[in-house]
Structure 1
Amino acid sequence: MQGPGRTGRGRGHLRHRPGYAVLAALLVAAVGSGCAAGTDSRTVTGAGAGAGPGAKALAGQPGGPAGNAGAAGTRAAQAEKARLAQAARVIAAKKWGLAGTPLAAPAPPAVKPHITTRKGFEVEGGDDSLPPVFTTVPTEKKIVFLTMDDGDDKDPELLRMMSELNIPYSAFLSDYLVRDDYAYFKDAQSRGVTLNNHTLKHRYLPGLSHDEQKREICDQQDIIEKQFGSRPRLFRPPYGNYNGDTLRIAKSCGITAVPLWSEEAFPDHMEWREEDQDLHPGDIILTHFRGQKDWKGSMPDLVRAVMKVITDKGYAVARLEDYV
């Protein structure tokens, strides 16, 4: 299978304005602490259970809220938390020079959607037991998913920008580009970024033997688990190319899904898989950890450009792993 054509170490060029940072920090603190009432998941579970400062009595227990009142209080607290989070995002969008404030994604589904291989992306002899290969997640919500490949450019501005804007994204890493600075991606992981498999050396997999493919895929699984503490479930083959061996090997070492992409983002344009050249609910957007040496722009430039397209079209960015 062939994905769309794929076209550093750049650094963001914004001059940070302390006023924005202070206001954003205050709002984030309010979200994290001032709205905690009604959302603490710890409960008193029985007589004699410790009821320290963080414990919360269950509805109907002595000192606990009435059921309906408790639910209403929780909803009010959640609504206030969402309001403050969006206010912080407004400030961050101005600080980072975005054309508009990113929209907030809806809550993820309680049950993840059933995903199957996209028609035309099947492999010979394949069946439903293999990890599905797809470009769009089935949903009616106006959300898209942002993914970043390879790992060459390690711009600290990107980490700060995405954290302050609260924009989720998923990384697909190739070890030959990542191994010189695992700490950068540990930092990304600590900020909520899921680290997924993009092979050891980014080779064209259908041209490799079974054993060579296994080294590329499964050895990368082992490295990510060793370096970052968890074994990936998601795998993206380089260039979007794969065959039956690829999917069977990926499954054998823990892969459950193979997300490709519907669009690819660059600092100065978008490339579209579909003829209508538009976003659709559940689309997966691809971009790369690259910078000035590879394209005319830094990673923050890339984020500003792709978020303008996403926001102008009325979409929010959701977390891929919440749906897959």
Structure 2
Amino acid sequence: MRKIKVITISRKRIFQALTGGVALIALFVLAVVPLIGGATNLVATVTGTGTAKLVPIYSVATEEKKVAISFDACWGAEYTDDILEAMDKYELKTTFFLVNIWLEEYPELAKEISERGHELGLHTVSHPHLGGLSEGEIREELTDNANLIEDLTGQKPKLFRPPFGEYNNKVIKVADSQGFQTIQWSIDSLDWMEGKTAQHIADRVLDNIGPGDIVLFHNNGEHTVEALTPIIEQLKKDGYEIVPISELIYHEDFYIDSAGIQRKK
């Protein structure tokens, strides 16, 4: 009579086999998903819950020594003319993200920014916390903002920066559905923070900047103009080209990784 050999598999071994398979699947997803991209060029990070997290562009992966500096305008205009003069002095074009409450108070200045060749982007109507709004309310914030910018300046904005830098999937999806690319920043100059001198601001930017970075400034920072001179002169000395954001980012065949770095496919 034949003896039947019984093979005993411990629970521990079964668990190891299962977790090993899951790990292989996870590695496959991480390797392949960024290469696939999507119809809208929005690439998600796969989380443990299966939720796809969308991210805006924080910076661009490039070997070219190109960077973008940008200005958010939602309060005051005391220093804006000086910023424009500095841009003219160094023959630079940049990107200004404008809020309707600012546009309504300074319509002529908005026109001048555009007439001097600077790019205009959306920063909403009322500078709200967008994550707490419905899709319809977010869409209205963006559409009304875009309409006012176009009515005042003739420019049709293509870029959008969320107020406070706050976003979620809903915000990015609505912006994308309206044809707006969501933009963050990789370096915050902190020119908005009390107690920061021009030297602090310049050092913070120059100590951290590299190819593809997007720097956040504000149009009405007390020491912004003073900080811009050493920043621009050092960047030029180091061989950098300063361009508007739309000239830094890719417009096709790209994906955005989980860190917000835009990369070519």
- Interval containing the TM-score (normalised by the shorter chain): 0.5 to 0.7
Per the normalisation by structure 1, the TM-score is 0.54
Is the CA contact (8 Å cut-off) linking 2:201 and 2:227 kept in structure 1?
no
Instruction: Provide the identity percentage.
Output: 26
Unaligned runs of 5+ in 2: 1-39, 192-197, 250-265
Alignment of 1:237-252 (within 5 A): 237-252=162-177
Matched residue, 1:145: 68
Matched residue, 2:211: 281
Larger relative contact order (CA 8 Å, sep ≥ 6): 2
1:202 pairs with 117, 122, 127, which one? Answer: 127
Matched residue, 2:255: none
Q: Post-superposition, which runs of at least 4 consecutive aligned residues in structure 1 deviate over 3 A?
A: 115-127, 270-273, 308-314
Matched residue, 1:9: none
1:37-93 superposed Cα distances (whole Å, 9 cap, x missing partner): xxxxxxxxxxxxxxxxxxxxxxxxxxxxxxxxxxxxxxxxxxxxxxxxxxxxxxxxx
Matched residue, 1:262: 186
1:229 aligns with 2:160: no
Higher fraction of strand: 2
- Residue 140 of structure 1: CA displacement? 0.5
| Cα distance in 1, alignment partners of residues 179 and 203 from structure 2 | 30
1:125-157 superposed Cα distances (whole Å, 9 cap, x missing partner): 568xxxx72111232111211011124343322
Per the normalisation by structure 2, the TM-score is 0.65
Unaligned runs of 5+ in 1: 1-114
| Cα distance in 2, alignment partners of residues 264 and 303 from structure 1 | 14
Is the CA contact (8 Å cut-off) linking 2:93 and 2:119 kept in structure 1?
no
Higher fraction of helix: 2
Matched residue, 1:94: none
What's the RMSD between the two structures over aligned residues? 3.3
2:227 pairs with 302, 306, 312, which one? Answer: 302
Is the CA contact (8 Å cut-off) linking 1:218 and 1:250 kept in structure 2?
no
1:256-303 superposed Cα distances (whole Å, 9 cap, x missing partner): x21211101233434999xxx6222111111111143xxxx2x42131
| Cα distance in 2, alignment partners of residues 195 and 121 from structure 1 | 33
1:184 aligns with 2:109: yes
| Cα distance in 2, alignment partners of residues 140 and 117 from structure 1 | 22
Cα pair distance change 1:222/1:125, threshold 3 Å: farther
Is the CA contact (8 Å cut-off) linking 1:142 and 1:314 kept in structure 2?
yes
1:211 aligns with 2:136: yes
What amino acid sits opposite 1:303 in the alignment?
L
| Cα distance in 1, alignment partners of residues 159 and 127 from structure 2 | 16
